[in-house]
Structure 1
């Protein structure tokens, strides 16, 4: 018996679990806003070079009958498409001849210069952004993307730091601190006087976001029963989905970046206030020699779930008898190196690194470039958020029906296929390209839902947080690299899609080598993981031996019927391949 049986005895998924999961999931509404905030806070307004002060409209209107449109035509050349004003160049001198009705001047030969007087930003979409406030355009354009890269660097750092700290100090303590850090530093970033200061605050906010997400997931998983993990994990992710649409509404209402930043970060003070209600993971408490505290937590859960009769029955001795093996294993100190030290853990870690990187790489490559679709950025944010709803329902269905491994591979392969398909759609078919992009994001979102749940189930309790932090660092690297890849379209328009799709295909192949965890109790020790891997390897060898024996028997009995032998051998190969792929799932179901 293990800890899962104790959870069933104190009410399974009862009132406490409902409240616990809801309160931890609620901040997900604003974690989505944090990750995608740069779309609006650093939105790029329509802009062009400012007119020289001595040639302003007020000065010229006294001498000539010119309006603003004519003034812009005199000073701002068209861009390469000829449909919009150039953003980074202006004529060195006013071109009066361009105002003539039948002007045939070749503007490409006219002398131009940089925007030495700055830029004029229109306010049709945004009242103020970091781009317009600090002029992050033209030669400074990379600094706009740098904000998101620095933020994701903070998320990466937080995954490493807070993943390890939570294994040492507990999930609850680190989660509470992360709420406070995000509230204080997030609101401080809204008051940043300079670009550098803003980047520093965003980096530290990113660290806090990582602490909230990683510890929130683990604290949920470690207080719910095995049979409810799939449903809870998937439904909890809907908070992130709705958060994307909440962001669109807030950004449409608050078009000043400082106000938007403040509104998105301030609610974390509320999350910090009620997070003291959480109970620390009883698993973690037991494995860190705090059995009395674990017992108090279990008694509290039993009381809230209406199972008060179990309080006297569950003692420290009962707790230890359920988790004796885990307690013995936890006396050792674990580090990141333990994730790669043994064969089973090494296989899991390497495969998960590939899956996390590719999923995040493709997801943020699509989600962080909304202005390229040619429609309202607020509408695109709502659409991109809405497609996650059917995507997560799809993930919920296949996770329980096909299992974790097949579901993960399917999501990655389908996202790659859609990304590749978009390469062959002409650029003028914008509606179709947008539709395919939404489908691609839907499958990457389903992949995210799957890998969050899958990772928590694959790693043992004694090193789960360290493992979550380690493999999710690849997701942060992917999200940091995604905006940079978009620049490759200047070399070849299809190149970003080729990179995103190729990465998803590779990760899908890695996912096929992960062990199945459907209806399997959470492993508590590294020995549990290695024993499972050894058992899986033994069963595969038995299938291979049986297959070889069947082939030899078929060859012996079919010397006079070669055509029939060929057909039978082919059918046997297909059946054995199917059985081999699904054996572990079937074994796990029958073993329970």
Structure 2
């Protein structure tokens, strides 16, 4: 744990760190909205079956409807229908002969062609086999609509363009029998995140944080830009899966670089800052989606800036801590001297020689001679317990968060308002999490926020849909509690994992969290059996980790471990003595 002595010499929070944090915050600001993009690109507009007599305007004006009307008019003249329909049919014929498909005429054609659901709205997945003209009778006589034969939407659907001009739902008709494909499209991105967290975590420990972050940002830009032009749903899902795969390489390395370049007392603050930047990106996503209603244009608006991000990342510094533990001390020394110059401590940087570095980090350099395999994470008891417990907590943290964030249409009708409120609440929530960690500690803070999150989700479950204001308030509070819990979990996890395997272990823990994120949209399929069941499961997954997190060690005011041996040396009975022996002065953060 000797690196922080070198970092104190060159400056633990100076101009160098501020520029690093600023760039990584910009990275999170641009990248994180891609996780929630399908709230708008995959939104399902109000829809109904295609009605040939109404929606085929050319055929209608050419007289294709005349036969229907003429037949019913003949029935009227023969006395088969009541005389009260005369006015309706006469109005329909007058509108047809005048060539004007008025709203009055369209309303009548919809009424006789599409049945109503239990809420007295047009059915979205069924239509009458034959027009039910008797439904136009003002006294409601004639055949009951519920007895009339219906059929699926054999000719396609008509979508309401008032909210979204186009989405992947309208492009590939992901409604009715194909509605589950919407969840699969969201699942493909989460599945990519699931695999990418583990793969790029290992690659980051092997090849460096900066290199993996740069190339993942380029691959993400290519995949997301290509998704806007996908000709088939399968191609779109594959590209989104690749995007999810790469996004973890960007986000994980962003937080790791901040942790490894920042002084101990500012590490939690640095992680909170990047999460705050992601929250601002989430907040602006609602505003941008409100202005851009076409899904392909919205996809490009968020994809093209990633190419600029890739080109700008060449000035990002590699982690000196990682370079030293990876047995590349010369490069690590060069990065430390660069940080000293930018922080106005050039003399301290010049005084920092290879002999000083080797003497300070002798134990870490000896451990770096043999690169620990991934199996070492589970070979020693303390490390194994930490990985398993962190994975459990992260899985249960991510499931309710993405359950709320990815299903805005299940919470209310105004998805733009929800997105804006969810982004706005995470800013004070992250500050509340930071404050709670500094006052209560890492473990009690997570437990508190998780219990509050589960309570908010349970309350949402039993609030009627017509009480929109209360649902909006509870949903917003739930996202705030969830965001605070995740921020505490990220900071706690990075403080528990040693430098030599930090990215690999973070990738494994992130993989567990991404399993929870991937399960979240799949649970919505259970809403077909009970609309409350998915939300009850989200609530249960919030209560369970509030107990599990208490089994992890507290890390407030503790220096970061650099090797697995550092983790194994920690014993509950010797914590107090180690804190007294530590010569590093820390603050409450």
Aligned partner of 1:376 among 406, 414, 419:
414
Tell me by how many angstroms 1:173 deviates: 0.5
Tell me by how many angstroms 1:419 deviates: 1.8
Q: Which residue of 2 aligns with 1:32?
A: 32
* 3-state SS in 1 of match to 2:48: strand
Q: Which residue of 1 aligns with 2:122?
A: 85
Q: Which residue of 2 aligns with 1:293?
A: 331
1:54-98 Cα shifts (integer Å, max 9, x gaps): 98466557645341111111111012322x111110000011111
* 3-state SS in 2 of match to 1:348: helix
* 3-state SS in 1 of match to 2:130: coil
Aligned equivalents of 2:567 and 2:521: distance in 1?
37
Aligned partner of 2:342 among 299, 304, 314:
304
Note the aligned Cα RMSD (angstroms): 2.0
488-497 or 292-301: bigger deviation: 488-497
* 3-state SS in 1 of match to 2:551: coil
Q: Is the 1:192–1:198 Cα contact (8 Å) retained in structure 2?
A: yes
Tell me by how many angstroms 1:38 deviates: 0.7
Q: Give runs of aligned pairs for residues 383-398 of structure 1, distance below 5 A.
A: 383-398=421-436
Q: Which residue of 1 aligns with 2:354?
A: 316
Could you tell me the TM-score, scaled by structure 2's length? 0.89
Does 2:203 correspond to 1:165? yes
Q: Which residue of 2 aligns with 1:566?
A: none
* 3-state SS in 2 of match to 1:312: helix
Tell me by how many angstroms 1:240 deviates: 0.8
Q: Which runs of 5+ in 1 are unaligned?
A: 540-582
Tell me by how many angstroms 1:489 deviates: 3.2
Does 2:390 correspond to 1:355? no
Does 2:486 correspond to 1:448? yes
Aligned equivalents of 2:161 and 2:310: distance in 1?
36
Does 2:16 correspond to 1:10? no
CA pair 432-28 structure 1, distance change in 2 beyond 3 A: same
Q: Is the 1:423–1:494 Cα contact (8 Å) retained in structure 2?
A: yes
Tell me by how many angstroms 1:588 deviates: 9.4
Q: Which residue of 2 aligns with 1:516?
A: 554
Does 2:189 correspond to 1:145? no
Tell me by how many angstroms 1:117 deviates: 0.4
Q: Which residue of 1 aligns with 2:86?
A: none
Tell me by how many angstroms 1:164 deviates: 0.4
Q: Is the 1:516–1:585 Cα contact (8 Å) retained in structure 2?
A: no
Q: Which residue of 2 aligns with 1:185?
A: 223
CA pair 331-586 structure 1, distance change in 2 beyond 3 A: closer
* 3-state SS in 1 of match to 2:229: coil
Q: Which residue of 2 aligns with 1:52?
A: 52
Aligned equivalents of 1:58 and 1:518: distance in 2?
72
1:228-253 Cα shifts (integer Å, max 9, x gaps): 11211112211110111111122111
Q: Give runs of aligned pairs for residues 402-481 of structure 1, distance below 5 A.
A: 402-481=440-519
How many residues are matched? 546
Aligned equivalents of 1:591 and 1:243: distance in 2?
36
Aligned equivalents of 1:448 and 1:262: distance in 2?
29
Aligned equivalents of 1:400 and 1:79: distance in 2?
53
Aligned equivalents of 1:395 and 1:218: distance in 2?
19
Aligned equivalents of 1:204 and 1:460: distance in 2?
29
Aligned equivalents of 2:2 and 2:464: distance in 1?
57
* 3-state SS in 1 of match to 2:179: helix
* 3-state SS in 1 of match to 2:454: helix
Q: Which residue of 2 aligns with 1:102?
A: 139
Tell me by how many angstroms 1:31 deviates: 2.3
Q: Which residue of 1 aligns with 2:166?
A: 128
Could you tell me the TM-score, scaled by structure 1's length? 0.89
Aligned equivalents of 1:448 and 1:588: distance in 2?
32
Q: Which runs of 5+ in 2 are unaligned?
A: 70-90, 93-104
1:116-153 Cα shifts (integer Å, max 9, x gaps): 10001110110111000110111111111111100111
* 3-state SS in 2 of match to 1:218: helix
1:535-582 Cα shifts (integer Å, max 9, x gaps): 21567xxxxxxxxxxxxxxxxxxxxxxxxxxxxxxxxxxxxxxxxxxx
Tell me by how many angstroms 1:106 deviates: 2.0
* 3-state SS in 2 of match to 1:27: helix
CA pair 530-96 structure 1, distance change in 2 beyond 3 A: same
Q: Which residue of 2 aligns with 1:536?
A: 572
